Structure 1
């Protein structure tokens, strides 16, 4: 494959899948700016591996795996544990909030530990099988099932109204 054909096929793929992949990144991290960073990291890594990934036809799986791993890596970084302050620096006006940003589900999803969040997103938002999810995350199918079960239980506990009173 010539360099221009390689780049054309890569650009075509990114153009067609960018918004979907950005939403996947957002579901994993809960912040549009971090989602853009995760997606950029994934797309750079995809470009490097493009000929190999394109031959196998596993573009989406490859990018999802990078997004999940990058999201988990970011959550482990020490600066992620910093606490925000009461006074914020001047910032440009925020973009209008979309329905996705206001979603109670996304807020509850972000409260889950990274591995539970990843399994819930891959299994229930993207509809991957247990086996496919296990392969993407590099964990056993039993671990996928337990993380998914715990994640869904936590979401139910957060989202369902309590029956007291």
Structure 2
């Protein structure tokens, strides 16, 4: 069961994930930008080809859908551990963004961590990944044909404006 939000960011219900996707219901994500300890590099991964949304595309945000009764920061911590094997860190909350890309409608609770430890991909969700410098990522995002998740692009653009 996932938390269902209204358009203003208030939790109003809980529904099965497949219903949320099928009906395009408002939901939330706990998302984490993973930066190297010195802040010079950002971890970018590729989603597996069987993901229910944006299969095979790249993303710089580890994260997932907030479960019913779950705090978005707790979701971010859980997803970071599951997807990339990053544990023992406390994500710093950055911003919340309302993203509407029908059928995707979500509130992105964005966080950031610094990490120099190993990255261990969850094989069922992450096909591969690696570190890019900020300049490399900005350059890749300048290519409209590079398959990058649209909500991740919006979140990264917001993060970049904060720098």
TM over 0.5: no
Identify, as 1 or 2, the structure richer in helix. 1
Identify, as 1 or 2, the structure richer in strand. 2
Structure with more relative contact order (C-alpha pairs < 8 Å, separation 6 or more): 2
TM-score, normalised to structure 2, is 0.28
TM-score, normalised to structure 1, is 0.27
